[in-house]
Amino acid sequence: MISISNISGKAIIFSAPSGAGKTTVVKHILKEIKNLSFSISACSRKKRKNEINGKDYHFLELNEFKKKIKAEEFIEWEEVYENNFYGTLKSEIIKIWKQNKHVIFDVDVIGGISLKKHFGDNAISIFIEPPTIEVLEERLKSRNTDSKDAINTRINKAIEELNYKKYFDYCIVNDDLNKTLHSAEKIIVEFLKK
């Protein structure tokens, strides 16, 4: 079992329904605010053609993922879709904090809530909300990465996930990307000053 209690730093948690824009926000924050490092999540889903193992995700076979769960190597994990697991490896956080950097997460909604509970006041959680479900559906379609069934699954999941936004420290409606980026940046800069 890996322990992260000996080392500490701050944690910035971004969560959102798939397609709401959280990855775009996180990439912007990483460019603009120094002393942050991205926590690469692990997942058991298949790699998309434009993704790089160890950069976008740690892509693990389903059995390997389950072994790591048993060995308590995750600070949090979730079966987001059937046999599609996502999680945060403790080793990833330790590596970042040992570099004297703060960790930034791009995780699913339940994972975000779990991380906030774990880190408490050392973390800030931000929910990125799509303006409407219709806009979200258009964004998912324009990605051209999912089948119609997969998009429907993501939309149904998004409707459910919107119920959890009240558990986050902040909620930003991503109806204007520039405003969203500015708001997120301002929140994080203030948090890191504390």
* Most confident listed range (140-144, 185-189, 190-194): 185-189
Q: What is the pLDDT of residue 1?
A: 47
Q: What is the mean pLDDT of residues 145-167?
A: 89
Residue 7 pLDDT grade (very low, low, confident, very high; cuts 50, 70, 90): low
Q: Which fold has domain 11-193?
A: Rossmann fold (3.40.50)
Look at 35 and 80; give whichever has higher pLDDT: 35
Q: What percentage of the chain exceeds 90 in pLDDT?
A: 66
Nearest alpha carbon to residue 18 among 111, 125, 123, 88: 111
The residue with greater pLDDT, 19 or 12, is: 12
Domain ranges of the chain: 11-193
CA angle 58, 157, 125 (to 5 degrees): 65
Cβ neighbours for 137, distance < 8 A, ≥ 6 positions apart:
151, 155
Q: Using the structure block, give the residue that is written with the tokens 């998309």.
A: 48
pLDDT given at position 3: 53
This prediction has a pTM of: 0.86
Strand-pairing partners, residue 55, are: none
Task: Report the pLDDT value the prediction gives residue 5, as an integer from 0 to 100.
Answer: 59
Q: Look at residue 4 in the predicted model and tell me its pLDDT.
A: 60
Coil, strand or helix: which one is 112? Answer: helix
- Above 90 in pLDDT, residue 179? yes
Q: What is the mean pLDDT of residues 171-184?
A: 96
- Pick the closest to residue 104 from 119, 83, 84, 86 (CA basis): 119
102-136 per-position pLDDT tens digit = 999 998 898 899 999 989 999 999 999 999 888 88
User: Would you say 186 and 178 are in contact if contact means Cβ atoms under 8 Å apart?
Assistant: no
